[in-house]
Amino acid sequence: MKYEQPAGTNVLDRMTIVGKPTDRIDGPRKTTGTAPYAYERHDVAPGAAYGYVVGAGIAKGRVTAIDTAAAKAAPGVIAVISTLDMPKLPLSRMNTASLFGGPVVEHYHQAIALVVADTFEQARAAAGLLRIDYARTKGRFDLKEAAPTAPYTGGDSGEGSGAPPIDRVGNFDRAFAAAPVKLDAAYTTPDESHAMMEPHASIAAWQDGKLTVWTSNQMIAWGKRSLATTLGLDPADVRIDSPFIGGGFGGKLFIRADIVLAALGAKAAGRPVKVALTRPIMANNTTHRPATIQRIRLGCTRDGTITAIAHESTSGNLPKGDPETAVAQTKLLYAGKNRMTALRLAVLDLPEGNAMRAPGEAPGMMALEIAMDEMAEKLGMDPVAFRVKNDTQVDPEDPKRRFSQRQLVRCLEMGAERFGWSARNPKPAQVRDGRWLVGMGMAAGFRNSPTQKSAARVGIDRKGVVTVATDMTDIGTGSYTIIAQTAAEAMGVPLDKVVVLLGDSDFPASAGSGGQWGAANSTSGVYAACMNLRASIAQRLGYDGPDVTFADGEVRSGNRRAKLGDAAGRDGLSADGQIEYGDLDKQYQLSTFAGHFVEAGVDAYTGEVRVRRMLAVCAAGRIINPKSARSQVIGAMTMGVGAALMEELAVDTRFGFFVNHDLASYEVPVHADIPHQEVIFLDEADAYASPIKAKGVGELGLCGVGAAIANAVYNATGVRIRDYPITLEKHLAKLPPIA
């Protein structure tokens, strides 16, 4: 199905199942512990041996020797593979740093050996017997030090967030100089870890030269191609299976050392091998969100009209890595005739920086939306009114290109009313509740809605059971349920008559889980397959014409009707389908919007920050399952609390590694940190986005949250903090007098 025109009325518009809050069909398996996660696939690979990954103890240099004799002689050891046993493995286009092979060390904890044994404990003990010699060389580990000479470098996250090295519209310098009200401020965000619950884990098995891997991976088709490239295999000889994933946040978009070493270990051992990256090795061995240094300049007339807007960001990465595209949203979010964005990339020898939930917009809006708050204060304007005044219905860089739908103003105004924003005291540090200083803050939310080709296979058997198969993944997002809802609605059957099979590379390739594109595109692929299957069924029955309907497990045309199972026959019927997009996304800007509102308390004695309540109002096209969509948004809001108040990978700038590489010292929010969260979805359906008329919410719920918290803290204390996370020592000495 080629999607080249806005969707008209279609079968999904009935919304008898689509659009209804629905319990997750995979819920019983997850709550009873029967959902098969990668490391627990005892059913598919009985007798698997255990692999233990050894990471480099230096950040830059060479491995000069690895003495494996003691490890090989240890009890239970089956094989020891060292990085010196083979040349550097080929890089897939999805990876920046080498995953294994050769003596060169590019970053700390790069995989340099695998010990395979009968038990995990034996493998771990033997790994401690390896004797490794290094030749350390000088590395670059300090972004602040490298930033002044970092070259301009454009980038694209591949997830709808990107920008050239420098982009100019109008004459920013002249307009900024002439503006009667100006803001010029710098902001920083730290390196952050994905810290997902399930570690990177894989089980690999070889048979007749073909490789099967049961793994935890968000993008199955990408993973299959990348693994084949890395191991020098024909993609037809590689199968990846990942039906359940315990969180990813972008950290599992690409193959990592676990899957490669499981495959190499299984070949060496002659039996299946399972590998999980231990928590301490994950932060440095895999990917992370890179730190940023951002400068934002705003120039306004005295009535609050933005006349000049500039956003510059510097981040670091390994050679051949990409920048964090933190300026991307500033190209689209607010009006302003004179504009400039710029990206700089410093070469650092820290672990690879790459996609983490809402790459670009998440850290970019943490800065931009504080700057908007600061400018509103300079102007003496309400922060909501300032944003509303500078709304735009067209792409500010290309006014001929309209947004397909843009309800940002409604999100902000509805949020303000629902949250009780009118009760906010605009003068900071005026509201107290006992020992607590209390403030309100808000921010706009923005995230693009990329379109991706996506395919599925839908079949029906003689019992009228519909089965959907696609390599789409469920990373805790509810993919199983929304795909079932789509198929049930399209085929006219109840939800309990739909079986969904996901995450297997033998199934048609979907959009995958990432970039806020998963829901809208994967369900569109399912819809395309359902339309093909409906046509086959109607043809088999001899039904023709526009009056053919599928409902209540039947096919009807005029006064004729037949049960779906009877139409399928003894052997059943199936059809493949695929959604492919034309250039609607070039004619119209496809984006999602939100208003985030936060109330925070700051302990006047200790400086401790506590979020008291949160609200998100979201405009994101048709919401396929409001129940799981709400879960996505409140999860993202929780992640925003972490980014604002506690999450930071501490860099040892002497030796080049992240010090706090476990969940004891890398702090993330827990239940006690999270207050009441309210989510409102605007009633909209975007016909330009997809035949489902949906977009996405998984990352929108994060974008802007950190700034809303920062703005609430400022309103509570009168102390403006521009460096995340907002920890108590950054404002304690400046808090208002207690008496």
Look at residue 200 and give its three-state secondary structure: coil
Is the backbone of residue 736 left (phi > 0), alpha (psi -120 to 50) or beta? beta
Rounded distance, CA 272 to CA 48, Å?
5
Dihedral angle over CA of 621, 622, 627, 628, nearest 10: -70
Rounded distance, CA 468 to CA 533, Å?
11
Burial 433-444 (b: 16+ CB within 10 A, else e): eeebbbbbbbbb
Rounded distance, CA 601 to CA 735, Å?
13
Of 547, 464, 528, nearest in space to 499 by CA: 464
DSSP string covering 495-562: GGGEEEEESBTTSPP---S-TT-HHHHHHHHHHHHHHHHHHHHHHHHT--STT-EEETTEEEETTEEE
Write the burial class of residue 385 (CB in 10 Å: 0-12 exposed, 13-18 middle, 19+ buried).
Answer: middle
> Which residues lie closer than 8 Å to 269 by C-beta, 6 or more apart?
49, 78, 79, 116
Residues classed as catalytic: 699
Decide if 55 contacts 111 (C-beta within 8 A).
Answer: yes
Q: Residue 737 has which token pair?
A: 């007098």
Instruction: Dihedral sign for Cα 505, 242, 282, 360, please.
Output: positive
Rounded distance, CA 403 to CA 695, Å?
13
- Residue 46 neighbours by CB distance under 10 Å: 9
Residues facing 501 on adjacent strands: 469
Rounded distance, CA 111 to CA 102, Å?
11
Return the beta strands (E) in 75-122 as ranges: 77-82, 104-105, 111-117
Dihedral angle over CA of 489, 494, 496, 502, nearest 10: -10
- Residue 178 neighbours by CB distance under 10 Å: 14
Decide if 614 contacts 711 (C-beta within 8 A).
Answer: no
Residue type, 447: R
Return the beta strands (E) in 410-473 as ranges: 432-433, 436-448, 454-460, 466-470
First to last CA, the chain: 69
